[in-house]
Amino acid sequence: MKKDVLFTVPSYFRDDMDIMGYRFGKGEKSCVVLGALRGDEVQQLYVCARLVSFLREVEKDGGILPGKSVMVVPTAVGFSMNVGSRLWAPENRDINRRFPGAADGSTTERIAGALFERLKLYRYGVQLTSFYQPGSFIPHVRMMDTGRHNPELAREFGLPYVYVRTPRTVDHTTLNYNWQLAGTQAYSLYAGKTQEIDEAAAEQALRAIVRFLNGRGLIRSEITPGHASSVISDDDLTTVVSSEAGLLRRVKFAGAHVRRGEQLTFIMNPLDGGVREVLRTPVTGMLFFVQDGPFVIEHSPVFQVLSGRTL
C-alpha cells in the first residue's frame, strides 16, 4: 500500500489539510473508490476505511492483479467532518455540486477541480454517496443517463437494483455526471445510513465493491455471490409528497411491500399531537426510499415507491 497526497488545502488558522489516497498495486489506473464528500458522511468514510484494511490484506497475499492499481480516497472534506457540517463549512456549499471545479475559483471549486484532475484518470469510479434528505434506501447502485453509462457493468456489484437516472440541470455539477463525460465508468453506491454507522449496510457495500473489483479482473479474492440486479429508471418510481409540515410517525419502512391505498405514515402537529395528514401509497409496490428524519416540511418527498414489486 502506498499513501499519496492528492492535493493540499492550505489554512491560515490551523494545519493544512492533505487529501490522502491509498493506492494498491501498480500499473494502469483501474479503479478509484471515493468516500465522504460531505462532512456528515460517516458511513461512507467507514466503508472506505474497511476497504483500505481489506485491500491491504489482499495485496499482502498477492491478490492485486499485475498491471492494475486501485485507489481508495476515504474523504476530501476533513475540515467539515471535524465540525460535523454536511456542507463545506467556510462557504456553506456542497462540494458535490461544484464539479468539474475551477483552479481559480472559490475554495470548494478549487477542491473539486484538484480532486477531479486526479480521479478522472481512472477507468472506473465508485462514489459512496448520500441523498440530500435523511433517509433509508433499498441498497442500490446509481448512475446518470449520459449516453456513456453502462448498466450491465453495474450488475457486477451484485446489489438488488441498478438505478439509471435521467440527469437534471442541477446534476451537471456532480462528480458522477462529470466523471462519465470525462470517460470514466462512474457509479454511485448508496451504503445505508449517513450520519451513523450501520454495520449490516456497510458490510453489504464492502462486499459489493469487492465483487465489482473481482468481476473487472482487478483483484483476486473470495466473495459470496450477489443478487441478479434489476435495472430500474425514473419511470419505475413514484414519489409520495407531504402537503403538511410536522412530526413524522412512520408505519412502513424501506423494503416494505405495500398495496395501493395502504397507509405509510401520518404527520402530527408537533404541539398538540393532532393528525394533520395521512400519507398513503398511490401505487402497489415496494418502498425504495423512506425519509427517516423526525420532521417533515410542506411539499417534501417522504417516500419513493418502486412500482410493481410485490411479494
Which pairs count as long-range contacts for 199-206, CB under 8 Å and 24+ apart, including other chains?
Answer: 201/43, 201/139, 202/43, 202/46, 202/47, 202/50, 204/139, 204/159, 205/47, 205/128, 205/139, 206/47, 206/50, 206/51, 206/54
Q: Could you give phi then psi for residue 149, rounded to 5 degrees?
A: -80, 160
Band of the pLDDT at 310, cuts 50, 70, 90? low
Cβ atoms of residues 181 and 121 within 8 Å:
no
Q: Which fold has domain 236-307?
A: OB fold (Dihydrolipoamide Acetyltransferase, E2P) (2.40.50)
Give the pLDDT confidence score for residue 24 in this predicted structure: 98
Which band of pLDDT confidence, cut at 50, 70 and 90, is reported for residue 90? confident
Grid coordinates in use for 109?
471549486
pLDDT in tens, 32-85: 999 999 999 999 999 999 999 999 999 999 999 999 999 999 999 887 887 788
Q: What is the pLDDT of residues 120-156, one digit of tens each?
A: 999 999 999 988 777 888 889 999 999 999 999 999 9
pLDDT in tens, 245-265: 999 999 999 899 999 999 999
Question: Which pLDDT tens digit goes with each residue over 263-273?
Answer: 999 999 999 99
Residue 110 has pLDDT above 70, yes or no: yes
pLDDT digits (tens, 9 = 90+) for 184-226: 999 999 877 787 888 998 999 999 999 999 999 999 999 999 9
187-220 as b/e, with b when 16 or more CB fall inside 10 Å? bbbbbbbbeeebeebbebbbbbbbbbbbbbebbe
Residue 101 φ/ψ region, left for φ over 0, alpha for ψ in the -120 to 50 degree band, beta for the rest: left
Judge contact between 62 and 219, C-beta under 8 A.
no
**Selection from 71, 4, 80, 92 nearest residue 37 by Cα:** 80
CATH topology identical between 2-228 and 236-307: no
Q: What is the dihedral of CA 152, 158, 160, 162, to 10 degrees?
A: -30
pLDDT digits (tens, 9 = 90+) for 267-307: 999 999 999 999 999 999 999 999 988 999 999 999 999 99
Domain ranges of the chain: 2-228, 236-307
How far is the C-alpha of 182 from the C-alpha of 164, rounded, in Å? Answer: 18
Q: Are 194 and 135 in contact (CB under 8 A)?
A: no
* Residues near 304 by beta carbon (within 8 Å), at least 6 away in sequence: 237, 238, 239, 240, 287, 288, 289
CATH architecture entry for 2-228: 3-Layer(aba) Sandwich (3.40)
Q: Say what the pLDDT of residue 216 is.
A: 97
